[in-house]
Amino acid sequence: MVEDGLGMPWKYVFRRLGIALVQLAAISVGVFFLMRALPADPVGHLVGFNASPEAIAHTRHFLHLDRSQWDQLAIYLGLDTSSGPGLIQGNLGSSWTTGTTIAEEVRTYLPITLELITYSFFVAVLVAVPIGLAAALKPRGPLSRVVFVYSLFAGAQPEFWWGLTFIFLFYVKLHLAPAPLGILNPLAQAPRTVTGMVTIDSLIAGNMSTFFEAASHLMLPVLTLAFVLSGPIIKMVRQNVLKTLQSDYMMYARSLGLSQFRIATYTLKNSLAPCLTLIGILYGYMLGGAVLIEQVFSLGGLGQYAVRSVLTFDFPAIQGIVLVTTTGSLLILLSSDVVHALIDPRIAR
Amino acid sequence: MLNQVSVPADAPEAEFALTGTQAVPATVAGRAMRLVRVLLKDPLLVCGVLIVAVSLLLVVLGPWMAPYDAQLPTRDVSQAPPALSDVPSLILQSLQGKLHHPVHWFGTDSTGLDVFSRVLVAPRVDVVVGLAATALSLFLGTLLGLFAGYFGTRSAESIIRISDVFQSFPIFILAMILVVLTGRNVIDIIVTLACLYTPIYLRLTCSQVVSQVGRTYVEAARAVGNREIVIALKHVLPNSLTPALIQASVTIGWAILFTAGLTFLGAGVRPPTPEWGGMIAASANYLVLGEWWPSVFPGIAISVTVFGYAIIGNVLEARFRQ
Amino acid sequence: MSAIQPILEASHLNVVYPLPGGEVPAVKDFSIEIGEREFVGLVGESGSGKSTAALALMGLVRSPGKIVSGEVRFRGESVLTKSDDELRSIRGNEIGLIVQNSRAALNPLLRVGDQIANVYRAHHRVGKKDALQRAVESLGAVGIPDPKRRANAYPHQLSGGMAQRILIAMATVNEPKLLIADEPTTGLDVTVQAQFLDALQSKVRDTRSAVVFVTHDLGIVAHYCDRVAVMYRGQVIEEATVEDLFARPKHAYTQRLIASSEDRRTAFNRIARTAANE
């Protein structure tokens, strides 16, 4: 019953990966059929609602919409040898509106979203953890109360409206921030694409001016997103630290004379571990949820791409976005759970 | 929209529970009254209750309280709201009936629509969607959760697995797909959100039920001869509802944010239906021109309303988590 | 057996809990003297204040309680006037504590050996390896088989009885002169109880410590204690040596207490003797 090391919980990881694959397949196939079952007509959007019947029929045939849904699925997966490579061969298809391959479009838009979300989480965690900690150390004090109210408030905010308000404040009135026209000035030279994330790529290329340019354009969106994220993170940190500080083992540790330093390390480890799962969930949610900020600041991320695709009924694009975001979300959830399991021996054994 | 209801928050009560210090009222009404009195001592909670009450009031009486028709443009285009110093005298004059036409308290937008009236009428979409979606998902989720938890661990596990699928999925995109592809009606939004929130209540209720099923009162009810379904509905369900009911308030807030966001993107309700998010979207471009009032006031409305629902949900959770 | 100067003296200790309905006195005018190497029992029903009193001897009180008056002197020095910082050198070092719920008292994220080592390192300047070595030794000293392997375990992997004995190791690793045990056997099976108590007894004999043993079980008191204080509703109503208390109980409450536990006591002694013989 006694284990030697707190190593990687391989069995747990593989089991979760297996379940994740099933979930991914279920969602992808589900969305595939769902889109075709709903009363939405993509053809009309593509050729116009007043097109000739021949044009409509031709387009329907070209998009395989005249075939049965199972046939369409087979074609999409690449199981139908007569219609070229499909998902199994690694082909995500091409957009019905732009004609570019989905893979290429995803490769362009996904890194921008990841850039935005990652920086925002960084800032949010950096700010939220000390505040939540401080509030929990004096639970009946005024700071704790203020922090509690703030965490509720921040988590309840419409981030798109705050984005606009910040633009109004910092760009229109105070001239402190650049115009919300995207991650780089439209006239600026984009750095060579390595990761697709503009700030990282410009650092890799050694192009400091582009780096600062991109960073300054990211300032307000990151501020807005971090503001909204700080709400639930502060709430969770404060709750967990309080719970830990009042737990029996902390009281016992204190009664045995452990040093302040030791008590502090116990507190941090025991209270931050459960927060990891929440952060994973939030991050996964943000993969799709950052769309509002992307729209307000014209960042050109996956969320905007998703909105465009949905509004134009671009089925392959929607399919590809669903696939990519679900995969990303599942991987993030798995990673955060694994890290949590690495710290807490009671999980996944 | 990102507030999650989970682990107990504030400092716990004393562990030293000597009885005899406070008499416990015998009747349900008495306990309810004491509960209300205790809760009302919290100023934060009072704020939340007020906000929610106002939102519900606007749902019912909004159009009658609005000075103008929310969908009819007036002659005053892009008129700024009155200066703060003028507000008291304007209130006085309007109460005395001295004004020819009502004041544009929040100004008008670029098409001449009165912002104040539209803000007052929008809850008929935003808050109604929130309430309806939450009610529907609460109903479905708790029933499904009850049966999953009560009638067998195998079915419980598989239902949990299926609802887990939703947790891993980027909800926003799925909701967007559903709403847009079904036609962007209010009903579509309600149904979509209900589908998305049902797994939350399902999981909450299921785990509560599972922990209740082992309790003695269930055994006792069985021993007396009750049918299983009666035990499930009459005895176990009321005791398993607490976490779901607490979550409900927070979900209403989420739904309002979602509706506003979706409409802001152009994927929600169609104009000219007054809706807070849509109002912000329509006037976003005018911000750079200095015309702040058509976007700011609806935003404040969303901000305050969702905050109010969040307060209720979270304060209740802080008090009653067992 | 009684020393010239008691190792612990408490006089007129009062602890209250401020509750919404008013202040509740948990411990009223509590006074006791513990001599060196004495095994003193503190008995009473639930709610008699015995746990609160025992913890207060270390200056500990569960929130939101408050020690409002009284004095505690440990080895001549006042305890209650010292700050938490000053008390840290005494707690875990010269006064050890064993609590009731061992699984809850252990940090779930740390190995047991590391936790004991941390208690040792809190009061001695040694490296991690040496401290861990000492922890393993202390586990062996309380009769835990295969101590090196057990030290690598996490609390949730241990049985209740094992975890409770680990608490003995943790509380005594620095060889304190006074051990306060707050109902450590409540909730354990009778056989496990006997194992625990024997381990405790042998350990305190080795380290020559005094013990304040809080319990509601008169059987344990009869078998292991030298002196007993009986508490009722926050007050000590009777105090005597074990022989005197059981032979000539003076207070009516004590008499009732003894009467109700007579049967249990005989059963316990029988089982304890059987367990000791195994």
Residue C80 lies in a domain: yes
pLDDT of residue B12: 35
Mean pLDDT of chain B: 82
Q: What is the per-residue pLDDT across A276-333, written as a single tens digit (0 to 9) for each?
A: 888 988 898 888 889 999 999 988 889 889 998 988 888 889 999 999 998 998 888 8
pLDDT in tens, B201-238: 988 888 888 888 777 788 888 888 778 777 777 777 87
Q: Please determine, for residue B244, whether its predicted confidence score (pLDDT) is greater than 60.
A: yes
Give burial (CB, 10 Å; 0-12/13-18/19+) of C13. Answer: buried
Contact B21 C65 (CB under 8 A): no
Mean residue pLDDT across chain A: 87
Residue C78, chain A, CB below 8 Å: the answer is: no
Helix, strand, coil % over all residues of chain B, rounded to 5: 70, 0, 30
State the chains in contact with C (3 or more Cβ–Cβ pairs under 8 Å): A, B
Q: Which CATH number goes with the domain that contains C277?
A: 3.40.50.300
Q: Is residue A93 over pLDDT 50?
A: yes
Q: Is the pLDDT reported for residue A188 higher than 80?
A: no
Mean pLDDT across the stretch A256-271? 92
CB under 8 Å to A142, separation ≥6 — which residues?
none
Say yes or no to pLDDT of B17 above 50: no
Task: Kindly state whether residue B289 falls inside one of the protein's structural domains.
Answer: yes
pLDDT digits (tens, 9 = 90+) for C51-85: 999 999 988 888 788 899 899 999 888 888 888 88
Q: What's the pLDDT at B11?
A: 33
- Span C93-114, mean pLDDT? 92
Question: Does C90 fall in a domain?
Answer: no
* pLDDT higher than threshold 60 for residue B19: no
- Within 13 A of C275's CA, how many CA atoms are on the CB side? 17
Q: How many CB pairs under 8 A join A and C?
A: 80
Confidence (pLDDT) at B111? 87
Chain C contacts of B11, Cβ < 8 Å?
A: 63
Judged by phi (left if over 0) then psi (alpha if -120 to 50, else beta), residue C37 lies in left
Q: What is the mean pLDDT of residues A20-30?
A: 87
| Residue C265 pLDDT greater than 80, yes or no | no
Residues of A with CB under 8 A from a CB of C: 1-4, 246-249, 251-259, 262, 266, 269-270, 273, 343-346
What subunits touch chain B, counting only 3 or more CB pairs under 8 A? A, C
Nearest Cβ partner for B183 among A31, A39, A152: A39
Are B3 and A152 a contacting pair at CB < 8 A?
yes
pLDDT tens per residue across span C212-252:
999 988 888 888 999 999 999 889 999 998 888 888 888 88
CB pairs < 8 Å spanning A and B? 182
* Total domains, chain B: 1
For residue B322, pLDDT beyond 50: no
Mean pLDDT value across residues B300-313: 94
Q: What is the pLDDT of residue A237?
A: 94
Beta strands C235-241 and C227-232 are: antiparallel
DSSP B244-291: HHHHHHHHHHHHHHHHHHHHHHT-SSPTTS--HHHHHHHHGGGGTTT-
For residue A5, name the pLDDT band (cuts at 50, 70, 90).
Answer: low
Quickly state the pLDDT bin for B257 (edges 50, 70, 90): very high
Please, are residues B160 and B278 in contact by the beta-carbon 8 Å criterion?
A: no
Is C184 within a domain?
A: no
Residue B314: give its domain's CATH number.
1.10.3720.10
Q: Residue B168 — pLDDT band, cuts 50, 70, 90?
A: low
Give a yes or no: residue C20 inside a domain.
yes
Min CA distance, C176 vs chain B (Å)? 29
Residue B16 placed within a domain: no
Best mutation target among C23, C63, C101 (most B Cβ atoms within 10 Å) is C63
Query: Has residue B208 been placed in a domain?
Result: yes
Say which residue the tokens 């006791």 belong to. Answer: C32
Q: What percent of chain A has pLDDT over 90?
A: 30
Q: How far, CA to CA in Å, does A150 sit from each of A99, A159, A302, B117?
A: 47, 15, 30, 30
- Share above pLDDT 90 across residues of chain B, in percent, rounded to a whole number: 27
Tell me: pLDDT of B4 over 80. Answer: no
What pTM was computed for the model? 0.85
- The predicted pLDDT at position A252 comes to 93
Does pLDDT of A250 surpass 90?
yes
Q: Given a cut of 70, is residue C264 above it in pLDDT?
A: no
Q: What ipTM was estimated for this complex?
A: 0.87
Does a structural domain hold residue B314?
Answer: yes
Query: Which residues make Cβ contacts (< 8 Å) with residue A251, sequence separation at least 6?
Result: C60, C62
Do A278 and A291 form a contact (C-beta atoms < 8 A)?
no
**Residue A76 CB coordination number (10 Å):** 23
Nearest to B22 among C21, C47, C65 (CB): C21
Q: Is the pLDDT at B1 greater than 60, yes or no?
A: no
Give residue C266's pLDDT.
67
Residue A3: the pLDDT is 47
Domain assignment present for residue C147? The answer is: no
pLDDT value of residue A82: 77
Per CB-CB distance under 8 Å, the chain B contacts of A238 are: 9
Q: Bigger pLDDT: C155 or A71?
A: C155
Q: Among A18-32, A137-151, B19-33, B78-92, whose mean pLDDT is lowest?
A: B19-33
pLDDT at A2: 41
- Which chains reach chain A with 3 or more Cβ–Cβ distances below 8 angstroms? B, C
For residue B157, give its domain range: 41-67+97-321
Domain that holds residue C51: 1-85+211-278
Which pLDDT score is estimated for C278? 59
What is the pLDDT at residue B122?
93
How many domains, in total, are found in chain C?
1
What average pLDDT is seen over chain C? 88
| Strands, E assignment, chain C | 8-19, 22-34, 39-43, 66-74, 77-78, 95-98, 178-182, 210-215, 227-232, 235-241
**Residue C251: predicted pLDDT:** 87
Q: Is the pLDDT of residue B128 over 80?
A: yes
Q: Is residue B23 included in any domain, yes or no?
A: no
pLDDT band at A44 (very low <50, low <70, confident <90, very high): confident
CA distance B259 to B254: 9
| Contact between chains at C21 and B11 (C-beta distance less than 8 A) | no
Do C109 and A343 count as a contact with CB atoms less than 8 A apart? yes
